[in-house]
Chain A
Amino acid sequence: MTKKKKQNVFVEGPISPAFIAENITSHSTKLDIGGHAIFLGQVRGDVYHEQKVKAIEYSCYRAMADKKMYEIREYAFARFEIACMHIYHSLGKVKAGDICVFVFVSSRHRKASMDACREIIERIKTEVPIWGKEIFEDESYKWKNNS
């Protein structure tokens, strides 16, 4: 089990579909798992005043963000009957259409992993000091506002 291992959550740039596939594959030997819940966050190409977002550049307050991610992880293991959990979040630039967040929770039965996955992504968005800068096609930008 990966429960006590402190994970490196932050990755530079987008999270590749191949990395996600490898993560899923690596669980095929864990035969106590009966369900996986996966949330993938993808950068939207929103349009503001006829300007299209071409990428989001993520930054964070690393010391505090690492601590918060760890707290969320510990909380989820205490609160839900889950077997394992992996969280990845991009830093730096991620193009519209690419994956910027990957939450992967596994459990014996589906409900625990689905409930945990939802709560984890909600807490990441509200409690972890990460900021997104939406960069437009002409290189101007706007700080992202989570609603």
Chain B
Amino acid sequence: MTIKILAFGQISDILSGAEIELDNIDNTEKLTVELNQKFPELIRLKYAVAVNGELVSGRAILKHQDSVALLPPFSGG
């Protein structure tokens, strides 16, 4: 299975490119571990996670073709 990662704000710099795809990740905890390994700079950052546009917390299930957005603190206005 494949999920799509959408990175925003400061995190888009770290992931160097706005979107990446990852295989065989079926929940958000696994995703965090995987991302922290690939991008150690993420470990010290505070960010929220949204699956298909809805904020999630804890261990959320991921399905094939889900979009997972990594959202650093908002700074609109």
Chain A residues within CB distance 8 Å of chain B: 41, 58-61, 63-64, 67, 89, 100-101, 121, 124-133, 143-146
Residues of A close to B76: CB separation below 8 A: 58, 60, 89, 101, 124-125, 128, 130-132, 146
Query: A146 is contacted by which of B8, B69, B74 (Cβ under 8 Å)?
Result: B74
Rounded to whole Å, the gap between the CB of B47 and the closest CB of chain A is: 11
Contact B6 A100 (CB under 8 A): no
**Whole-angstrom distance between the Cβ of B43 and the nearest chain A Cβ:** 17
> Which residue of chain B has the shortest Cβ distance to A103 in the bound complex?
B77
A61 touches B75 (CB 8 A): no
- Complex interface residues of chain B between 37 and 77 (CB less than 8 A to chain A): 50, 53, 69, 71-77
Size range of the interface on B?
Answer: 10 to 19
Q: Using A59-B8, A61-B6, A129-B71 as known contacts, say yes or no to A146 and B50 having CB atoms under 8 A apart.
A: no
Are A61 and B73 closer than 8 Å at their CB atoms? no
Which residues of the partner chain B approach A101 to less than 8 Å between Cβ atoms? 76-77
User: Which B-chain residue is minimally distant from A60 (CB atoms)?
Assistant: B76
Which B residue sits closest to A90, measured CB to CB?
Answer: B76
- Chain B residues in the interface with A (C-beta under 8 A): 6, 8-10, 12, 50, 53, 69, 71-77
Inter-chain CA distance A125–B77, complex, in Å, is: 6
Which residues in A have their C-beta under 8 angstroms from that of B12? Answer: 59
A32 to chain B, nearest CB (A): 30
Interchain nearest-CB distance for A92 vs B (Å):
13
Q: Which 3 pairs show the lowest CB-CB distances between chains A and B?
A: A130-B76, A131-B9, A144-B75
Separation of A101 and B73 alpha carbons in the complex (Å): 18
A120 to chain B, nearest CB (A): 11
Contact A146 B71 (CB under 8 A): no
Given known contacts A61-B50, A61-B69, A130 and B10 CB-to-CB distance under 8 angstroms: no
Instruction: List chain A residues, Cβ under 8 A from B53.
Output: 61, 63-64, 67
Most B-side CB within 10 Å, residue of A67, A100, A133: A133
Given A58-B76, A64-B50, A100-B77, A143 contacting B10 (CB threshold 8 A) = yes
